[in-house]
Amino acid sequence: MTELISRIVGGLNTPVFLTRFLVTVLIMLVSGAIVLGISLLYEGLATYAERKVAGDIQARIGPNRVGPYGLLQFVADGVKLLLKEDIIPFYADKWLFILAPYIVFTVSFAAFVPLSYSDHIAVANLNVGVLYIIAISSVVSMAILMGAWGSNNKWSLFGGMRAVAQIVSYEIPIVLSLLAAIILPASMNMRDIIVYQGGGLGIFRWLVFNNPFTFLAFFVYFIAAIAEVNRTPFDIPEAESEIVAGYHTEYTGMRFAFFFMAEYGDMFVVSAIATTLFLGGWHLPFIGGISMPLWLRDVLQVAVFFMKVFVLIYLMMWIRWTLPRLRVDQLMELCWKYLTPIAFFNLIGASVWVLLLHGRGIYDIIARIIVH
Amino acid sequence: MAGYFKKMFTALNSVLTGMGITIKYGVNPKAEVTQQYPEVKREPPDRFRGKLFVNINICTGCTACARICPVDVITLKTVRDENKKLRPVIFDINNARCIYCGLCVEACPVDNCLYFEKKYEFSAYTKEDLISHFGLGEAQSPGKKAEEKTADVTKEQKEAAQ
C-alpha cells in the first residue's frame, strides 16, 4: 500500500519534501479509513451478536425481523439513533458534554492501531505497542469523567466517579499481568511478541502455556480487562438499577451511540491484547509448517486472529449474561485483595522462571526430555 | 490465610457452576421457548374466555344474561311471535365494555346458547365496530320497528321450515 501511494504521489512532480509529506498523510488517512470502516462494521455486528447470545442464553430467539436472521438489525438501530433528537441539558457544561463522547470513541478507535493482524498486516508497527495501548485506554476514564461532570446530573456524576475509581484500580492488575507475559519475549512490539510464540504446532508455545505464572496471569488479565471495559459483572459505572444509566444518563441519539460503540471497540481491543500476548496471535495452529502462497497465509492468519478474538468476546458475553453485578466494595475488594496480590506473585514468579530457565517454557523442557 | 484461598475457591466454583448452566442454553438452539406470535398461534385452553357468542336460533329471550351482567354489556329486546314465544330481535354485545366475568354464560338456561368463543383477535378502529349484533331482526331489516322485525323473522322461519 505504501508503494502504491508513493507511486501515485510521485507522478505528481512535486518537490521532494512535499511528496514525503503527502505520502505520510495519505497513508495515515487510508489506513485510518480502513480501520474505522472495519471497526464500525465489527461494532455493529457485535451488538447483533450480543443480543443473539443473550437470546440464546435466556432461551429466547433474539432479533430476527430485519433482514435475513435479523442481521440488518444494527443498521436499523444506527438509523434510529441518528434520527433521534439530540438533547443537550440546559444546565450542562456544553463544551465538556459535547467533547466527551468524541474523546471516548477516538480513544477506543486509536487502540486498534498497534495491533498486529497478520505477519504483514498492521496499521503501525509500534515498538512500544503494549505501553501505547495501556496509556491510551486510560484516557477513557478522563473522557468519561468529563461527560459525567458536564451532564450536571447526580447519577451521571456518580457513574463517572465509579468508572474512574474502577478503571484506575484495575489498571494495576492489568499492567502487572501483562508484564509477566512481556518479560519472556522481552519486547513491547505486538509483532515481536507474536513471533516469539511461533513453533510448537502453533499452540504449545503460546505464552499462556509457557509457565504456570503466565497461565495464571492470563486469567487475572481477562478478569481485570472485563472490569476495564465496564461490562457486567463489573458494570457499576452504568448500573441501571442503582444510578439510571451512569455516566451516559443525559446522552441521546448519536452521542449515546458513540459511548455504546466505544464499549464494543474496547471489548475487541482487550480481547486482541489477550490474543496477542497470551494466545499466540495469528500463528496458524497445526498447518503453520505447510508451504502456501503468501496471500493465502495472510488471509488465514487474519482469520485465525479474529477467531481467537471472537472466542474471547463470546466468553465476555457469556459471563455478562450469567453473573449478577458486584457491589462497589466487592469490586474494590476483588481488585485490591485478590487480583493485585496474585498479579504481583505472578510477576515475581515469572521473573524467577525466566532467570532460572533462561526463558524456556514447559513445552521446551518436555520436548528436550523427550528428544534426549 | 486458609479463609482467603477458600473464598477464592468458592467464588470460582460458583462462577463456573453458573456459567455451566447458561452455556447449556447458549449452545442449544432448541432450548428456545419463544413462539413467533403472528406466524405461530397458540391453541387457547379449554375454558378460555374469548369473544362472546350467542346461538340466536335457540335463544329463548329470557333476558337472564342481560340482567345479571354487571357492566351492561348486553342490550336485549324481545317481542312475542305468533306462537306467543319470546324472540330476541335485538341482541347486541358491546365487547368494548365486557369484563369477561362469565356471569352471563352461567346464567343462560339453554345449553350452548351463550358461550365464550376461543377468538381473541377482534380489535377494531371505532368503538361502534366492537359491538357485535346477534339480533334476529338486525340482519334482514335494520331500522324497522320491533313488531315488523318479528314478522320478518317468523316469515323467514316458516319459509325455512317448508
Residue A2 confidence (pLDDT) above 70: no
Residue of chain B minimizing CA distance to A219: B12
Structural domains of chain B sorted by starting position, each given as residue range(s) with its CATH number in brackets: 52-141 (3.30.70.3270)
pLDDT at B115 over 70: yes
Q: Which residues of A touch B23 (CB under 8 A)?
A: 57, 318
**Residue contact A318–B25, C-beta within 8 A:** no
Residue recorded with cell 456459567: B19
> In terms of DSSP H, where are the helices of chain A?
2-10, 16-57, 73-83, 94-110, 129-151, 154-182, 190-196, 212-228, 240-243, 253-278, 294-320, 328-333, 340-357, 362-371
pLDDT of A216-228, one tens digit each?
Answer: 889 899 999 888 8
CA distance A312 to A320: 12
State the average pLDDT over residues A168-194. Answer: 87
| Per-residue model confidence (pLDDT) at position B162 | 63
- ipTM surpassing 0.90: no
pLDDT exceeds cutoff 80 at A20: no
Strand, coil or helix: A122: strand
Residue A17 binned pLDDT confidence (cut-offs 50, 70, 90): confident
Residues in A touching B34 (Cβ below 8 Å): 59-61
B64-95 pLDDT, tens digit each: 888 899 998 888 888 777 777 788 888 888 88
Please list the residues that pair with B105 across neighbouring strands: none
State mean pLDDT over A125-149: 86
- The whole-number pLDDT of residue A33 equals 86
Query: Which one of A61, A64, A232, A330 would you mutate to disrupt binding with B, by most B Cβ within 10 Å of its Cβ?
Result: A61
Cβ–Cβ of B22/A57 closer than 8 Å? yes
The C-alpha cell 500500500 sits at A1
Distance CA A11, CA A1 (A): 16
Predicted TM-score (pTM) of the model is 0.79
Q: Does the pLDDT value for residue B123 go beyond 80?
A: yes
Mutate one of A50, A58, A232 to test the B interface: name it (highest B CB count within 10 A): A58
Q: What is the pLDDT of residues B4-60, one digit of tens each?
A: 888 888 888 988 998 888 888 877 767 777 888 888 888 888 888 888 888 888 888
Domain boundaries of chain A, sorted by first residue: 84-371
A6-10, A116-120, B21-25 — which one is most confidently predicted on average?
A: B21-25
Residues of A in contact with B31 (CB under 8 A): 56, 59
Over the stretch A74-89, which tens digit does the pLDDT of each residue have?
888 888 888 888 888 8
